Amino acid sequence: MFFQAIHGATTVCSNTREEILLKTRELLDEMLKRNKLSADDIVSIIFTATRDLDAVYPAVAAREMGITNASLFCCQEMFVKGSLESCIRILMHIQTPEKIKPHHVYLEKAVTLRPDLIQKDQGEPSKNPRLSIAIDGPAGAGKSTVAKILSQRLGILYLDTGSMYRAVGLHMLLNGIDPKNPDDVNRLLPDTHVDIEYKDGVQIVYLNGKDVTSEIRTPEVSQAASDVGVIPEVRLKLVELQRKIAGKTSVVMDGRDIGTYVLPNADRKFFLTASVEERAKRRWLEMKNKGYQKSLDDIIDEIKKRDENDSNRSFAPLKKADDAILIDTTNKTIEEVVSEIIRYLPMSREE
């Protein structure tokens, strides 16, 4: 006989007896089904619940399902700041005649605990397989770089929303349209088609069918992106596309209003910031490496103006979501910031 362990987790919507038992039964049933087990194969089960769940013991669900011979034990999950709330975890010990490949099960928002297992083991499970992470912050805070690395670490899609606005801004400049003029921008908007494609893990941005990935990274286009970004019609057009992408796959998305407007129900939200001087220095170095000559003082002035523009726009302004985790990236390396974000993800605490 072989003795093994299988783990799983799920979340509930409310601290009620009915909801806790329902979600626990769903999780237990899925664990048994995916591993082709019966109640007789179970030796014991350890249930844990976060401290906000106390309406009923999760083990009651197991007894109601006919798991009567196994030893059951319930305890409270250790509280860690930033950890997933309303969560029930299960560690199931089994004994079978032959050794099996264990299929660990994560449902509902608990998919954030182990996205690596979701992708490798579960494929496309029926219970909300998608993981969404929103990263917001002002220009130069390091959002895009951090989001790219984070997506690689988690093995999920990275969507640079800023590139979409840059593509729209570029289209206006190429057609002699003032990006600050809403009437002119809106007239050209129906003929502005932005598409995102990934080739070998690299995001390719298309404007009306043409690859403009390199063209959208100039200072002029950057300013144009900020200008068109305050126009409601532009934002509505691009947000619809962004939500469609996030609705189909797990995604890390960065921008100015991801957590507050684009993905208000994102599984995890972060707001990155840094001092104006730090952000200007980063932008200055980036531009210098690309061959652009500009004084640091000029870039500081531009960033201040862009901050004011993004924060004071009437539609979906730049601001920290109430439930977003604030991370100051001043004097921190990219790796330090990524590591800090990962520590806030519950998956980093799971074994």
* DSSP reduced 3-state for 141: coil
Measured between alpha carbons, how far is 90 from 7 in angstroms, rounded to an integer? 5
pTM of the model: 0.55
- At 142, the amino acid letter reads G
| Highest-pLDDT range among 11-20, 139-148, 205-214 | 205-214
Q: Which residue has the higher pLDDT, 151 or 3?
A: 3
**At 201, is the pLDDT very low, low, confident or very high (cuts 50, 70, 90)?**
low
Question: Which pLDDT does position 245 carry in this prediction?
Answer: 81
Take residue 194 and report the two structure tokens written for it.
């932005």
CA-based angle 50:51:52, to the nearest 5? 95
Cβ atoms of residues 252 and 266 within 8 Å: no
Measured between alpha carbons, how far is 171 from 263 in angstroms, rounded to an integer? 26
Measured between alpha carbons, how far is 61 from 10 in angstroms, rounded to an integer? 14
Spatial CB neighbours of 343, under 8 Å, sequence gap ≥ 6 = 82
Name residue 91's beta-bridge partners.
Answer: 7, 46
Question: Which pLDDT does position 246 carry in this prediction?
Answer: 84
Cβ atoms of residues 133 and 150 within 8 Å: yes
What's the sign of the alpha-carbon dihedral 282, 285, 289, 290? positive
The pLDDT of residue 126 is above 90: no
Mean pLDDT of 225-252: 88
Domains, in order of start, for the chain? 2-105 (3.30.1330.40), 132-349 (3.40.50.300)
Measured between alpha carbons, how far is 300 from 280 in angstroms, rounded to an integer? 5
Measured between alpha carbons, how far is 274 from 25 in angstroms, rounded to an integer? 46
Cβ atoms of residues 7 and 89 within 8 Å: yes
Beta strand extents in 128-215 (DSSP E only): 132-136, 157-160, 194-199, 202-207, 210-211
Average pLDDT, the chain: 87
Question: Which pLDDT does position 127 carry in this prediction?
Answer: 44
pLDDT tens track for 72-110: 999 999 988 777 889 999 999 999 999 999 999 988 778
Question: Which pLDDT does position 307 carry in this prediction?
Answer: 85
Burial 7-27 (b: 16+ CB within 10 A, else e): bbbbbbeeeeeebbbebbbbb
pLDDT tens track for 30-56: 999 999 999 999 999 999 999 999 999
User: Left if phi > 0, otherwise alpha if psi is -120 to 50, otherwise beta: which for 23?
Assistant: alpha
